[in-house]
């Protein structure tokens, strides 16, 4: 993803709120991908955020491209533990943010 003015704060760097949104959305994609991988079917369960933490380790400027990786650390009966790393491609793939996201797994009756 290339960072544009819409993603930036007044200093011209990736806004912390946008970073949080990226971590929220992409970790949810990782959870859904995990469900597909385990069942070979579309996701059957929704989820709701329980906790999210972010470590900001470096700035990303407007025009820089970020690379995002996400995975499910552990998915249990009620909780999913997810992780996201964000790298700045323009700075030799420097790690600029990490996120941990815990989600409560919703059954169909809770959706």
Query: Does residue 111 have a pLDDT over 70?
Result: no
Q: Look at domain 5-110 and name its CATH class.
A: alpha beta
Nearest one of 16, 9, 11, 5 to 63, comparing CA atoms: 5
The predicted structure's pLDDT at residue 100: 98
| Averaged pLDDT for residues 36-63 | 93
**Is pTM beyond 0.85 here?**
yes
For 16-46, how does the pLDDT look when each residue is reduced to its tens digit (9 = 90+)?
999 999 999 999 999 999 989 988 888 888 8
The predicted structure's pLDDT at residue 110: 58
Q: Positive or negative, the Cα torsion across 59, 61, 64, 70?
A: positive
Dist. CA 87–CA 98, nearest whole Å: 9
The predicted structure's pLDDT at residue 109: 57
| Averaged pLDDT for residues 42-68 | 95
| Averaged pLDDT for residues 54-81 | 97
């Amino acid at each position: 993803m290339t960072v544009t003015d819409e993603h930036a704060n007044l200093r011209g760097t990736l806004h912390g709120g946008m970073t949080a949104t990226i971590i929220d959305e992409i970790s949810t994609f990782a959870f859904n991908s995990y469900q597909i991988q385990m069942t070979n079917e579309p996701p059957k369960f929704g989820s709701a955020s329980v906790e999210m933490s972010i470590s900001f380790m470096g700035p990303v400027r407007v025009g820089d491209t970020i690379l995002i990786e996400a995975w499910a650390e552990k998915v249990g009966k009620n909780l999913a533990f997810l992780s996201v790393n964000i790298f700045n491609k323009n700075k030799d793939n420097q790690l600029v943010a990490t996120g941990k996201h815990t989600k409560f797994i919703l059954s169909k009756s809770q959706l």
